[in-house]
């Protein structure tokens, strides 16, 4: 079984968000870029576990981005994985990302494609489902558990107010979230090994964007917190009712 | 035509579907278009007709019991098929488990640009633009969809609904589907019973490490019960097994957007805020007046949670009795 793990680069969560070019672009200067946590902690680690258990024969990592994402994909390789592919395309349109990954993945016939539940920058959570459509496979979103026996995957996925235990034939695309695996810290051996692992750079297929970001804005800052005396909970309840109108 | 994915749950529909229909109706009004609800699987006739009261002129019903089981592949195939034969140009679904699996898939099949998690109605000044929240609520972006077919998912609990008049006409639609389109099989479902599902709750009472230990959680549960609220917690609370993991909200847990979020003994770390800061109103109860959460709050109470909670419960009970 061959596994492909989709790795996105995102700004660290503690980053201060700022915009440039009259609020039409996101300022990346001075930001620490990290592997999208869902991709790293859950999708990648679970793929490595499946390989360690002898169920996967190969784990490949793929990212869509220009050369500046290479340090992040090397970091991912330091955790494990046999080789990485970078598709040399810069796009904010998730459909472009999915089309580029699909074009590469099709030729390689992966049995399992794992991605994160969403990228923590644009919070879309759509690339996995789009990929499944383009690869014409089934898709399981928000999986918290994944195992494979032969040609069948067994999964647990989160649904509203509970969870579902499901099985599915391979090939399959899965979006992964907490519960799937435990975060790993790369060790020195992994970091050294990552330096010499193959990282292929592939040019894109020229997929066209169907959407574009036209403006960024900050949310209106809270007008300031209204402090209420701890002995006056009737006042809080009144405010929630009459002013905030939430009860 | 504007086509709305109206997910039936045991034959009837939820509020998020009504929100999506009304959102679609307002676009239809602007574009002089009409709204159809796509219903897949067995549904009650009157529940389908009632979708008319929320803006659906017609219901396109794929009355095939196969669709009572969920499959992203089969659902998307059906939606694409119906959208194509009816020339639908705008496709809408709630940004929930079903919508998040189906809508992007249809977008990919139809080469359609999409906005995942819209929080505002489209604007038409420069084409077709929709706003969504990004960086876990720290910013917003406006996205222009440039393709002929446009796909939008809507964050639940964001758009208001008012029930109007009218019944939708029901039209049966055939979709060819084969067993291979249902590659996933649900073996069992475990529902969290007896409580309000966190993702759908309009009111949420949440506790952090400041609650001191699981033995104090009855204070949170009691308040939640009086209010009809769901309960949530910070990550260390779930990590310490004081509460089940599905209650954990934040960057690595669930993202919620209730009308009211009451945070008790939670410091307000950025990773926690990422999951809750889109809540309409935030109340923070913390004994430390310098707790960062107060900066994100609408109402703040400085005090010991174990003392404030019983008082708040009494005040809520009084309010409930009077209203
Ligand atoms: C990559 C990453 C991801 C993370 N993801 C998440 C996530 O998804 N969700 C999450 O919640 N956290 C997450 N965290 C952890 C986060 O950074 C904080 O450590 C965590 O939110 C703190 O939880 P807390 O506020 O309950 O506890 P603490 O930080 O210990 O705060 C307890 C608060 O309670 C107050 N307090 C103490 N006693 C009382 C009392 N008697 N009455 C009233 N108030 C009292 C204190 O003043 C303090 O403000 C993540 C961290 C990292 C690094
Ligand atoms: N540029 C990218 N390169 C590779 N994988 C990506 C990229 N963007 C998103 N993904 C994958 O798709 C998942 C969902 O991303 P998104 O739909 O952008 O929220 C992420 O968790 C990644 O696994």
* Chain center to CA of B11: 19
> Which of residues 237 through 276 in chain B touch A, CB cutoff 8 A?
245-246, 248, 251-253, 259-260, 270-271, 274
Which of B219, B301, B307, B323 to substitute to test the interface with A, most A CBs within 10 Å?
Answer: B301
Instruction: For residue A17, give Cα distances in angstroms to A29, A30, B224, B273, B277.
Output: 10, 11, 35, 15, 15
- At B46 the pLDDT is 96
* Cα of A164 to nearest chain B Cα, Å: 4
List, for residues A157-201, the tens digit of each pLDDT value: 988 878 899 999 999 999 999 889 999 999 999 999 999 999 999
In angstroms, rounded to a whole number, what is the distance separating the alpha carbons of residues A142 and B257? 18
Give the integer Cα–Cα distance in Å for B21 and B27.
10
**Over residues B99-121, mean pLDDT:** 97
Mean pLDDT in residue range B117-133: 95
DSSP state of B33: -
Q: What is the mean pLDDT of residues B40-44?
A: 96
Over 70: is that where the pLDDT of B97 sits?
A: yes
Q: Quick one: which ligand is closest to B306's CA?
A: 1
User: Over the stretch A51-71, which tens digit does the pLDDT of each residue have?
Assistant: 999 999 999 999 999 999 999
Q: Which residues pair with A202 in a beta bridge?
A: A87
Integer angstrom CA distances of residue A25 from A105, B140, B142? 31, 12, 11
User: Would you call B104 an interface residue with chain A, using a CB distance cutoff of 8 Å?
Assistant: yes
User: Does residue B113 register a pLDDT over 90?
Assistant: yes
**Whole-number Å distance between alpha carbons of A102 and A137:** 11
* Whether residue A38 has its Cβ less than 6 Å from ligand 2: yes
List B residues 129-188 in contact with A (Cβ-Cβ < 8 A).
129, 132-147, 183-188
Q: Is the pLDDT of residue A221 over 80?
A: no
Is B311–A233 a contact, with Cβ atoms under 8 angstroms apart? yes
Determine the pLDDT at residue A16.
85
Q: How confident is the model at residue B119 (pLDDT cuts 50, 70, 90)?
A: very high
pLDDT at A25 over 80: yes
Nearest CA in chain A to B253: A178
Strands A112-116 and A2-6, sheet pairing? parallel
Of B279, B280, B205, give the one whose Cα is nearest residue B237. Answer: B205
In this complex, which of A124, A178, A234 lies closest to B252 when CB atoms are compared? A178
Report pLDDT for B254.
81
pLDDT at B193: 63
Rounded Cα–Cα distance for residues A215 and B37 (Å): 31
In the DSSP assignment, the letter for residue A44 is I
Closest by CA position to B233, among listed B205, B256, B259: B205
Q: What is the full DSSP assignment across A160-226?
A: TTEEEEEEEESSEEEEE-TTS----PPPHHHHHHHHHS-EEEE----PPPSEEEEEEEPPPPP--PE
Residues B149-155, mean pLDDT to the nearest whole number: 97
Mean pLDDT of chain B: 94
pLDDT at B39: 98
Q: Pick from A173, A120, A121: which is nearest to A146 by CA?
A: A173
- Secondary structure (3-state) at A152: strand
Dist. CA A232–CA A229, nearest whole Å: 5
Atom of ligand 1 nearest to the CA of B236: 23
Structure tokens at B239: 């990590």
Least confident of A229-233, B3-7, B158-162, B225-229: B158-162
**Which residue has better confidence, A16 or B261?**
B261
Shortest Cα–Cα distance, B182 to chain A (Å): 8
* pLDDT at site B59: 98
pLDDT at B194: 61
- Ligand 2 centroid to Cα of residue A140, in Å, is 15
Q: Which atom of ligand 2 is nearest to the CA of A65?
A: 1
B90-110 average pLDDT score? 97
CB neighbours of residue B228 within 10 Å = 12
Query: Residues A4-19: pLDDT tens digits?
Result: 999 999 999 888 889 9
**What percentage of chain A reaches a pLDDT higher than 90?**
89
CB contact under 8 A, B302 and A230: yes
Residue nearest to atom 9 of ligand 2 (CA): A8
Give the best residue of B112, B143, B184, B250 to mutate against chain A (max A CB count within 10 A).
Answer: B184
Quote the crossing angle between the two packed helices B97-109 and A127-135, to the nearest 10°.
50
Q: What is the mean pLDDT of residues B263-275?
A: 94
Q: Side-chain half-sphere of A25: how many Cα atoms within 13 Å?
A: 6
User: pLDDT digits over B166-197, tens only?
Assistant: 999 999 999 998 888 888 888 888 877 666 77
Q: Is B113 in the A-facing interface, judged by CB distances under 8 Å?
A: yes
Answer whether B135 sits within 8 Å of A219, measured CB to CB.
no
Spacing, Cα B14 to ligand 2 middle (Å): 30
């Amino acid at each position: 079984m061959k596994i492909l793990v989709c790795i996105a680069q995102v700004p660290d969560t503690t980053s201060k968000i700022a915009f440039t070019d009259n609020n039409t672009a996101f300022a990346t200067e001075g930001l620490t870029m990290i592997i999208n946590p869902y991709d790293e902690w859950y999708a990648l680690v679970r793929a490595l576990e499946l390989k360690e258990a002898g169920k996967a024969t190969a784990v490949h990592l793929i990212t869509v981005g220009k050369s500046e994402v290479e340090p992040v994909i090397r970091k991912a390789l330091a955790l494990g994985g046999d080789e990485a592919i970078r598709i040399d395309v810069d796009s904010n349109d998730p459909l472009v990302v999915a089309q580029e990954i699909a074009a590469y993945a099709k030729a390689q016939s992966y049995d399992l494609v794992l991605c994160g539940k969403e990228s923590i920058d644009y919070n879309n959570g759509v690339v996995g489902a789009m990929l499944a459509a383009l690869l014409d496979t089934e898709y399981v979103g928000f999986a918290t558990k994944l195992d494979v026996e032969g040609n069948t995957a067994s999964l647990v996925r989160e649904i509203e107010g509970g969870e579902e235990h499901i099985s599915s034939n391979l090939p399959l695309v899965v979006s992964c979230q907490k519960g799937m695996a435990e975060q790993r810290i790369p060790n020195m051996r992994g970091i050294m090994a990552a330096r010499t692992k193959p990282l292929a750079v592939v040019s894109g297929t020229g997929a066209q964007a169907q959407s574009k970001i036209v403006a960024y804005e900050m949310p209106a800052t809270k007008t300031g917190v209204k402090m209420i005396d701890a002995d006056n909970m009737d006042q809080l309840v009144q405010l929630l009712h009459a002013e905030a109108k939430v009860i | 035509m504007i086509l709305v994915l109206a997910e039936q749950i045991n034959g009837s529909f939820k509020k998020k579907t009504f929100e999506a229909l009304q959102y679609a109706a307002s676009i239809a009004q602007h574009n002089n278009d009409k709204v159809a609800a796509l219903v897949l699987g067995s549904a009650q006739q009157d529940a389908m007709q009632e979708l008319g009261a929320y803006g659906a002129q017609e219901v396109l019903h794929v009355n095939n019991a196969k669709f009572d089981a969920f499959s992203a592949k089969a659902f998307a195939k059906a939606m694409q098929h119906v959208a194509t034969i009816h020339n639908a140009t705008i496709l809408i679904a709630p940004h929930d488990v079903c919508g998040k699996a189906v809508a992007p898939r249809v977008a990919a099949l139809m080469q359609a640009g999409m906005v995942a998690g819209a929080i505002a109605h489209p604007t038409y000044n420069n084409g077709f633009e929709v706003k969504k929240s990004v960086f876990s609520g720290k910013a917003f972006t406006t996205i222009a969809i440039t393709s002929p077919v446009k796909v939008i998912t809507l964050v639940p609990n964001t758009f208001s609904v008012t029930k109007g008049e009218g019944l939708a006409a029901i039209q049966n639609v055939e979709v060819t589907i084969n067993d291979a389109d249902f590659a996933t099989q649900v073996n069992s479902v475990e529902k969290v019973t007896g409580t309000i599902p966190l993702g759908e709750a309009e009111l949420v009472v949440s506790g952090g490490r400041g609650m001191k230990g699981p033995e104090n959680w009855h204070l949170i549960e009691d308040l939640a019960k009086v209010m009809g609220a769901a309960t949530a917690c910070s990550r260390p609370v779930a990590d310490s097994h004081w509460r089940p993991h599905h209650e954990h909200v934040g960057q690595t847990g669930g993202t919620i957007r209730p009308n009211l979020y009451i945070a008790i003994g939670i410091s307000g770390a950025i990773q926690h805020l990422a999951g809750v800061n889109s809540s309409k109103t935030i109340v923070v109860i913390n004994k430390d007046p310098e707790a960062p959460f107060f900066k994100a709050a609408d109402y703040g109470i400085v005090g010991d949670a174990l003392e404030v909670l019983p008082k708040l419960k009494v005040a809520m009970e009084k309010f409930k009795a009077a209203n």
